[in-house]
């Protein structure tokens, strides 16, 4: 099956006072229709920059330095502005982390969804607004006709996120990118939103890339997982393999910081932390970026960057010492 989205050797730079420095390096991924890939890592590892580059929404200070992004075989980076605008919302769409800042504060929810529908489906105002109400029904918005006539600030956080999802799905795009879609929500609403996204994906057959730092979310909905550190992939495999047999020391450290059900008062197990901090992307170490924080780092790790290669079938990692981890 042809991938809905294929990214190859993507490199993204930020232009600073002292020149350009990389924020995403050698990123490659592909996602098939109906598949969910999660990209995980600490804040500042390049997850959101990867997501923004996939929609060509990078800030003015950033640019794609090299690589390719193909959507259903078409070269997205080679398209002109009009072609890109036609693709966004229709072929590929994004659910942003904070809908209050992503939604237009001076337009009602229904007007914003209807505007997208009118652009891509050439419907009249009345038809487009009716479609907007149906989209809100699809995401289980309570009293959708009323909510469609309200402004973003009049809705709760959970309702705004549902409106954001409705806007993204209004034209039934083939690819959805969700950047931390449940971070600002309480646990109950978070579970509802994740269930909603999963149900809609199964119904519409969309390919999905979810950006998150929450391994609980990863376990809930991912098919495959990419772990990023300091702008690079350090591990990639199926979600089952990631939780059962993580290879990279960074991934193992992330797993050690997650509470488990089998930890009890009778048999307590301390959560582990990863010492040190993420290095600044403009001043990365010479070798493996994780080496200064890695308990098993060797001299080679400090001097040479490990290649990202297949360690066993379907399981990729970038680590010199993985056999001893």
For the segment 75-118, what is each residue's pLDDT rounded down to a tens digit? 999 999 999 988 998 899 999 888 888 899 999 999 999 999 99
Q: Are residues 296 and 165 in the same domain?
A: no
Q: What is the pLDDT of residues 19-30, one digit of tens each?
A: 889 999 999 999
Q: Domain residues for 15?
A: 5-222
* Residue 9: how many other CB atoms lie within 10 Å: 11
Q: Does residue 161 have a pLDDT over 90?
A: no
Tell me the percentage of the chain whose pLDDT exceeds 90. Answer: 58
pLDDT band at 74 (very low <50, low <70, confident <90, very high): very high
Q: Are residues 84 and 194 in the same domain?
A: yes
Quick check: is 242 in a domain? no
Quick check: is 248 in a domain? no
Q: Are residues 61 and 132 in the same domain?
A: yes
Q: Does residue 325 have a pLDDT over 50?
A: no
Q: Where are the alpha helices (DSSP H) in the chain?
A: 47-54, 81-87, 99-102, 109-121, 125-138, 144-148, 157-169, 187-204, 215-221, 239-244, 249-256, 299-303
Quick check: is 106 in a domain? yes
Quick check: is 240 in a domain? no
Q: Are residues 156 and 98 in the same domain?
A: yes
Predicted confidence at residue 58, as pLDDT, reads: 93
Q: Are residues 188 and 267 in the same domain?
A: no
Quick check: is 204 in a domain? yes
* Mean of the per-residue pLDDT values of the chain: 88
The residue from 178, 207, 222 where one domain ends is 222
Q: Does residue 12 have a pLDDT over 50?
A: yes
Quick check: is 71 in a domain? yes
Q: Does residue 10 have a pLDDT over 90?
A: yes
Quick check: is 233 in a domain? no
Q: Are residues 295 and 194 in the same domain?
A: no
How many domains are contained in the chain? 2
Say if CB 57 and CB 48 are below 8 A apart: no
Q: Are residues 93 and 210 in the same domain?
A: yes
Q: Are residues 53 and 105 in the same domain?
A: yes
Quick check: is 121 in a domain? yes
Q: Does residue 324 have a pLDDT over 60?
A: no
Structure tokens at 36: 């969910």
Q: Does residue 34 have a pLDDT over 50?
A: yes
The residue from 222, 248, 267 where one domain ends is 222
Q: Are residues 132 and 58 in the same domain?
A: yes
Those residues with Cβ within 8 angstroms of residue 168's Cβ, 6 or more apart along the chain or in another chain:
89, 93, 94, 95, 176
Average pLDDT over residues 125-130: 93
Predicted confidence at residue 273, as pLDDT, reads: 78
Q: At what angle do helices 125-138 and 157-169 cross, to 10 degrees?
A: 120
Q: Are residues 264 and 190 in the same domain?
A: no
Residue 188 vs residue 177, higher pLDDT: 177
Cβ-count burial 61-72 (b if 16+ within 10 Å, e if not): ebebeebebbbb
CATH of the domain at 116: 3.40.50.300
Q: Angle at the Cα of 26 (from 257 to 77), degrees rounded to 5?
A: 120
Structure tokens at 243: 């939780």
Q: Are residues 185 and 261 in the same domain?
A: no
Q: Are residues 170 and 262 in the same domain?
A: no
Choose the weakest-confidence range: 160-164, 198-202, 295-299: 198-202
Q: What is the pLDDT of residues 242-289, one digit of tens each?
A: 999 999 999 999 888 776 655 555 445 666 778 888 888 888 888 999
The residue from 197, 222, 247 where one domain ends is 222
Average pLDDT over residues 222-234: 95
Predicted confidence at residue 280, as pLDDT, reads: 87
pLDDT band at 2 (very low <50, low <70, confident <90, very high): confident
Structure tokens at 322: 């993985």
């Amino acid at each position: 099956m042809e991938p809905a989205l294929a990214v190859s050797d993507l490199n993204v730079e930020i232009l600073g006072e002292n020149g350009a420095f990389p924020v995403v390096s050698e990123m490659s991924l592909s996602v098939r229709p109906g598949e969910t890939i999660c990209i995980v890592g600490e804040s500042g590892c390049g997850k959101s920059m990867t997501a923004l580059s996939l929609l060509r929404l990078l800030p003015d200070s950033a640019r794609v330095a090299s690589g390719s992004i193909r959507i259903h075989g078409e070269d997205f980076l080679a398209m002109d502005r009009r072609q890109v605008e036609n693709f966004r919302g229709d072929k590929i769409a994004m659910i942003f982390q904070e809908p209050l800042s992503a939604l237009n504060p001076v337009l009602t929810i229904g007007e914003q969804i209807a505007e997208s529908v009118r652009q891509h489906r050439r419907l009249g105002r009345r038809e487009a607004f009716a479609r907007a109400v149906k989209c809100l029904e699809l995401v289980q918005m309570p009293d959708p006709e009323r909510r469609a006539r309200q402004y973003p600030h009049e809705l709760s956080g959970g309702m705004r996120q549902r409106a954001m999802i409705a806007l993204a799905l209004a034209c039934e795009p083939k690819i959805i990118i969700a950047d931390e879609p449940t971070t600002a929500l309480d646990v109950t609403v978070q579970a509802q939103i994740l269930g909603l996204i999963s149900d809609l994906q199964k119904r519409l057959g969309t390919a999905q890339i979810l950006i998150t730092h929450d391994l609980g979310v990863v376990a809930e909905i991912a098919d495959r997982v990419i772990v990023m550190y300091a702008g690079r992939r350090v591990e990639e495999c199926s979600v089952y393999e990631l939780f059962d047999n993580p290879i990279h020391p960074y991934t193992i450290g992330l797993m050690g910081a997650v509470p488990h059900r089998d930890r009890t008062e009778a048999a307590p197990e301390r959560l582990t932390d990863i010492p040190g901090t993420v290095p600044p992307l403009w001043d990365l170490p010479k070798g493996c970026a994780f080496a200064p924080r890695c308990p098993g780092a060797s001299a080679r790790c400090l001097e040479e960057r490990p290649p990202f290669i297949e360690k066993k079938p379907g399981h990729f990692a970038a680590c010199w010492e993985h056999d001893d981890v």
